[in-house]
Amino acid sequence: MTYQNDCTLSEQFLDQLCGQGLDALPELIRIVLNNAMQLERQKFLGAAPHERTEQRTGYANGYKDKTLDLRVGRTVVQVPQTRDAQFSSGGSNFYPQSLEKGTRSERALKLALAEMYIQGVSTRKVAAITEQLCGFDVTSSAVSRATQELDAILQEWRERSLGEFAYLYLDARYESVHLSGLQRRAAVLIAIGVDLEGKRQVLGVSVAISEHEVHWRSFLQSLLARGLRGVRLVVSDAHEGIQAATRSVLGGVPWQRCRFHLQQNASKYVPKQDLKVPVAADIRAIFNAQDRMEAEALLKRTVQKYEKSAPKLADWMEQNLPEGMTVFAFPVSHRRLLRTTNGLERVNRELRRRTRVASIFPNEASCLRLVSALLMEISDDWQSDKAYLTFTNE
């Protein structure tokens, strides 16, 4: 059988990896970024080097070295420069997004670690990591200067104008934060919207030592103040305070309770281990009904089925399962993606993977900085990806 070489890496990459192992990563990242930035400049200018075209919007103007202190080591990339260039919107500053997006969360993580070191809440391990990562003297003034540029970018993104979004997903997760010498749990509230083109965006994020109604209400009010409108459905779990805040701020917008969490919540009311499998199957049958009428009929029969053997479960089902049926009023093609917050849960898992490096944040601002940087990258990727759902033929 003939061996098929499916590897898309160049021989240069492979030779470096074979000869140097992981030590070659900074150089490989340099090569990839340099090529990506050159292609981005060509697209921006509307012309390849030395190409004559009516679509040209400016000219290449050499390169400027930039040192990147990455987690895998230090490397120097060549940032393409332009002259006489104009954006279609009128601006003239070109800066490669391939470089900017790849360094925002890196900087945020470094600053979180540096702040921990400065404020004396770090371990020896954190101090060692900081020394390897930061690329600058870890002093309060150095960290302050380094945060200003990044914070301005992230704040502008968090406060950007919004528009019409048909569906709104809400969720909260927790991070450990130092406050007045104590370790506290800070609630990270996240909102994701689906616009009328079917694309997802991270609409907002807020960090505070609370997840109660006041925090949720102020968070939702901030989204409306930035222009959020047209919401047809809110999807979330039954977090404390979120229902009251949603009713208060979003008025009559319908609410869909996450079915996945409902299924998990039901298990707390199952009195016997051998009932868990049939109860789970009965709940799935209710939620998989063709329409709400069929689902309500199945719910009624299921409540009757368990009212003697598991009365608390039967009562809980009757009171709570209808909150997972709101989605029946929406297009069939949308229901699968509207019935749970699983998409947001995947985002939370990615955040957890990245924030656990910092372990305990020195303050709320540090936590907000890193989470914002990560969410900004995720949202940017969604915008360049295919549509999450379609609004044609509803």
Six-digit token pair at 66? 């930039």
pLDDT (mean) for 258-287: 93
What the block records as the tokens of 295 is 């689902």
Return d(Cα 94, Cα 40) in angstroms, integer.
10
Specify whether the CB–CB gap between 67 and 135 falls below 8 A: yes
Pairwise CA distance, residues 44 & 56, whole Å: 9
Which of 154-158, 168-172, 189-193, 367-371 comes out lowest in average pLDDT? 367-371
pLDDT at 118 over 50: no
CB 376 within 8 A of CB 160: no
pLDDT tens-place string over residues 330-358: 999 999 999 999 998 889 888 888 777 66
What would the two tokens of residue 337 be? Answer: 């993606």
Per-residue confidence at 314, pLDDT binned at 50, 70, 90?
very high
Is the model's pLDDT at 121 over the cut of 50?
no
Is the pLDDT at 6 greater than 50? The verdict is no
Max CA pair span of the chain? 82
pLDDT at position 256 over 50? yes
Of 44-58, 210-224, 246-260, the range with the lowest mean pLDDT is: 44-58
Decide which of 327 and 53 is more confident. Answer: 327
Strands 360-361 and 59-70: unpaired
DSSP state of 159: T
Look at residue 9 in the predicted model and tell me its pLDDT: 47
Q: Is the pTM of this model over 0.75?
A: no
Which of 203, 219, 222, 221 minimizes the C-alpha distance to 211? 219
Sorted by sequence, the CB contacts under 8 Å of residue 131 that are 6+ apart come out as 138
pLDDT-wise least confident of 81-85, 102-106, 139-143, 326-330: 139-143
Other CB atoms within a 10 A radius of the CB of residue 332 amount to 11
DSSP, collapsed to helix, strand or coil, labels residue 56 as coil
Strand pairing category for 165-179 and 233-236? parallel
Q: Name which of 281, 265, 212 is nearest 243 in CA terms.
A: 212
362-372: burial string, b at 16+ Cβ within 10 Å, e else: bbbebbbbbbb
pLDDT, the chain, mean: 80
Dig out the tokens for 108 from the structure: 């945020």
CB 286 within 8 A of CB 306: no
In tens, the pLDDT along 187-226 reads 999 999 999 999 999 999 999 887 678 899 999 999 999 9
166 neighbors 231 (Cβ within 8 angstroms): yes
Could you give the CA distance from residue 206 to residue 223 in angstroms, rounded to a whole number?
11
Are 60 and 77 within 8 A, CB to CB?
no
Does pLDDT of 17 surpass 70? no
- Split at pLDDT 50, 70, 90, the class of 160 is very high
Tokens coding 301: 């029969």
Report the range out of 49-53, 160-164, 358-362 with the highest average pLDDT: 160-164
Note the pLDDT of residue 369.
84
Beta bridge partners of 70: 73
CB 232 within 8 Å of CB 253: yes
More confident residue, 147 or 294: 294
Residue 75: its pLDDT value, please?
A: 78
